[in-house]
Each structure stands twice: as C-alpha cells, then as structure tokens.
Structure 1
Amino acid sequence: MVSQTVVPRERSEAEPLGPDSLTWKIFGSLYFAPTGLFLGMVQNMHPGLGAGVEFHSTLSAEFYQRVFRSAYPITGVVFDGPRAAGTAREIVDYHRTIKGVDGQGRRYHALDPGTFYWAHAVFFVQTLRAGELFMGGLTEAQRERLWREQYQWYELYGMSMRVVPRSWPEFQEYWREMCEKVLEPTNAAWEVYHLAEQVPVPIFPILRSTPKPLWDRVIRPFGARFYQFLTIGLCDPAIRKTMGFTWSEQDQRRFEVWCRVFAVLNRWTPDEAKYFFPRIRAGRRRANGRRPADLAPPEAPELLWPAPELRDRPQHYCPVHADHGTDLPSKFRQLTGF
C-alpha cells in the first residue's frame, strides 16, 4: 500500500466522523479505558501542555471528576455527528486563557498550534494502541486509515493545520521526534502517573460497598500498580527512558499476556456494554435511528461539575448547551444517552 498525502480543506468543509469509521469502533470503548493513564501522562510530558496543566488546573483536587467531565465534549467531537464541529469549537474556547511562563522562563499557550496538536496526536496514538494491543490488532492499512480519520477529526477544531503531518509516514516520524527530542518528565506528567495511587473511593458502583480497609490496603494499591504497569507497557522506549521507567523482557511477556486477555474479552463483550459512556452511546443510537436526531447530546451530570466558585472560569467545562428546562423524559434521555 502506497501512502498518500492529504490536502487540507477549508474550515467550513470539515466533516465529522461517522459510524462507518474505524475510530468509532475503538475510541472510547470499554477496552480503550486501560490506555487512559498513558494518555494523561504522555500529553503532559509536552512542556507547554504540562505547564498549562500545572499552573491552570485543579488536577490534584478533582482528578477523576475532571477526567469523566472532560470526556463528554472530547468524545463528542467524534460522536456528535452534525453537532461535532460546534463541540470542537467549544473545546478550543476552553483553552484561550491558558497561557503564561513556565518555571524555566519559557512562554506557553494552550492554543499554540504545536501544543494543541500534540494533545490530539496522543489521542490518536492512544486509539491506535488500544486497537493494536487490546482489541485484536490492526493491519497496516487500518493504521493508515485511522491516521486519515484522525486528520479529519482534527480539522473540526478549526486550528492551524500547518503543524499537522500530511501522511502516515510523516506522522510516524513526527511521533518519533517528539518522543526522543521534545518530551520531558514534567511535574504534571508525574502527577498524573501517581494519581492512579490516590483513587479515594471506588469509581464503579459495583464496588461501592467494598469495606474501606479492603479498598485502601488491597484493591486500590493492586489496581494502581496494575494500571501503571499497563501504562509503562504502552509507552515507547524513548518515553520510558525520559520518565526513568524500567521495563524487562519478563515485563514485556506479562504485558503481552494481558493484551491477549483483553483482546479475547473484547471479542465477546456486547456492544451495549462496550460502548457504555453516555455521549458515545447517544451518538451510536442517533446514528442507527434509536435516538432523536434533534435531541442535544448528553452532558456531564452535576456531580462531575467543577466547584461552584470555579464554574464561571472559561477554562472549566461545565454543561453549556444542555436544555435543563425540557420535560422530564427528554431531560433523562439527554443526561443519560438513553
């Protein structure tokens, strides 16, 4: 297969991804979840992005609320269909005031084209690795197809395309150079990595009745070590070197066993369970005619919102276009995706 370059389109011509895309099958699925810590850590290894998080975020105070809250608009850019471009512009707007000077005197701005694209590039590699390692594998043609889809996905943001690689081989070279020459072990990257050790309460309802001593002394420490193990396994050798991680041949063999386990589970998991996140479920149901096309997508419930004193700050996502005045059945569908 000969790789071809893409031709950037006008902003008004950007088209959302649909149910025929490979991205819809991988991004945000249940077996995409084990890559979450990799995403947060590697994104924040970029000096500009890491500084923005370090100086403008409440990451340590509300990490998991922020992760689940942010997942609504982020997944919306892929699954919102005709509304996807509006969701993308919403995300851009959250980043306009995130700027300053880092601890080494370097200026940063979240909307610097290279910084903003890096965040997206890691989402793409996260999707790529989830498909390759946890969901049964990808052919080279599928890898290039995913790359083309992420280019189409990025066009929705309306950001400059001058920093975006124009072919799959160019992207591979871009990724290698970023990993080897640009990424740093930033404070924000380490903070994300260690937050796996600090889950205060069970996230999944099925575990809520777990006795606190059992959670604190057994389940949480084991879960954190396992999640960090998977994260290191997903990393490129250059990233491991930069962060100072060790990785043996035995670690690699154990990692490959878990990859096979996830791939088998993925094959047998029903789609309704696999695509459980409300925004994703709503998009899939809209696409197959089981959800009204004019119903706004689900937004983060109030329990995930920022603290009241932070909700009017422009960098914090707080539902902005959910219609909270609708009748109760419509409101239920809007908030849950059903």
Structure 2
Amino acid sequence: MTQHDQLTFQNPVDRYAQISPPKQDQPEPGFDEEIVPKADHGEESYRGTGRLEGRKALITGADSGIGAAVAIAFAREGADVALNYLPVEEEDAQHIIEVIRETGRKVIALPGDVRDQEFCSQLVEDAARELGGLDALVNNAGKQEISEDLTELSDEQMRSTYETNVYAMFRITKAALKHLPAGSTIVNTSSIQAYNPNPMLIDYASTKSAMNNFSKGMGQQLAPKGIRVNAVAPGPIWTPIQPSDGQPKEKLPHFGQNTPLGRAGQPAEVAPAFVFLTSPESSYVVGETLHVNGGTPTP
C-alpha cells in the first residue's frame, strides 16, 4: 500500500494495489485481525485539516472497516468520538481506540448489540453523557450474509439483517434527536447494493434501499430544524464483512476488480465522504446519497 495521504495528488487507479484476496472464511461478524490482506483504515494515510474541530460524534460498527476509518478520520479532523461495536469485536476496537488516542482526541468505547431496542436508547444516552453532548451521528453498523436462493433465506437471517441495518438506524436516530442541536448531522451507510442488487444479497440490498429512503425522508423532516441527514453508498470495499459470508469464497480473489478503476476500495477511501457530509462545508447538502464505488454508474 502507498503511504500517500488522501490530500496528495495521485492516480486513483494505482493509489492502492489491486488486491486478490485468498479464499478465506471467518465467523460473523468478521475480524480485522484475521483478514488477508490487511485493510487501510487511515492509520497512516489519513491527514486531518481541522474540518470537524470540536464535534461530538457517535459511530456504530466502528471496530473495523468503514466505521473504523470514519472514526479515525473524524478524530484526525478534530472530533471527539464514541465507538459502538459488538463485544466480540473488542480486540479490533482497541486497535482503533489506540490510534484515536494518539490524535489527542477523546474516544469512548460503547460495546453492545444494536439489534437490542433498549441498548439503542442507552447507547445514545451514554454517548451524549460521556462526550458532553452529541452533534454528529453515523449509522454504520451492518449485517451482510449471502443466500443463494430466496427459499434458503431463513427468517432468522432476514430478521437479524433488518434489525441491524434498518431498525437500529430508526431507533438510534430517534433517541439522538433530543440531543442534536441545529447544525448537527446524521450520515447513514447505504450501499451500491441499493441500486445494483446482487441476487445473493436480497435481504441486505433491500435494507440499503430502505436506508436511502430513510435518509431522504428524514432529511426533509429535519432540515427546518437545521439538522442535515445524508447517506454514503460504498461499492466493493475490502472489510471483514466480505470473508465472513458477505461474499462467496470463490469470488474473493476477484473482489472489486470489475469496477472501472479495476480494484476494490479501501475503508480509508470512503471516510472522506463522511467527513464532507458532517462538516459545515456541506451545509446545503440534504437528503443526498454520495457514491464511493470506483466508478460504477448509479441512478
């Protein structure tokens, strides 16, 4: 991987080498410690410029992948952050926490399962209390598991996917509203699957469409209050969700190579979109879905 940061002039085709991940299998939810090759969360490659100075952010699914990269980017930009993740992901989370501590910003660990309704409310209250307020929310926690045929898609998987991706977003956003002052932002992690669904990810893809719709509807509802809601729709990004039943094992060696850029993206390449939508420079952007997918056309 190149050590160039996100502000350095470079060719996007070879900013990161084209990866060909070996066939590998992990139990859900997937662990960054075990992923091959390692993903870039911006530990060495993200350089902040003070765009989120003084902000107080809650980020779900922040132990690895896109959530971890967003957490590092927010801290490097001057924000204090509260990180949510599953308790089994503690080892990955501690790595991200250590990186953030080195920035000098405050970081709060709030492990727990966002599928639990009561935990969603408690998560927001704990984040607001520990951070001394809340003015940025990133609903990023997600579940993605392949199912080759609808007849094989269990109610348990379907329910778990919706509880993680959709219900938690509703519940956490609802709980956060009493804390968010004018000028606050909410950014939800959608997906290219909302526009170009993989037939093996029917339940996951449909939740991402729901997240787009939620972002546009809530954007209209909250805009008069000065709270902006937007979404980011990543394409094929190399994270632990892929080898933990997020993709067929035989397809991993070619992951992301069908994009116009010819490679998979890294979490550090998605984080700047969240920074932009959270920063004041996007003050006239509401209900937008920002695509970070390597060039794949979307509506």
By the TM > 0.5 criterion, same fold? no
Q: Which has the higher contact order (CA 8 A, sep 6+)?
A: 1
Structure ranking higher in helix proportion: 1
Which structure's CA Rg is the greater one?
1
TM-score normalised over the length of structure 1: 0.26
TM-score normalised over the length of structure 2: 0.28
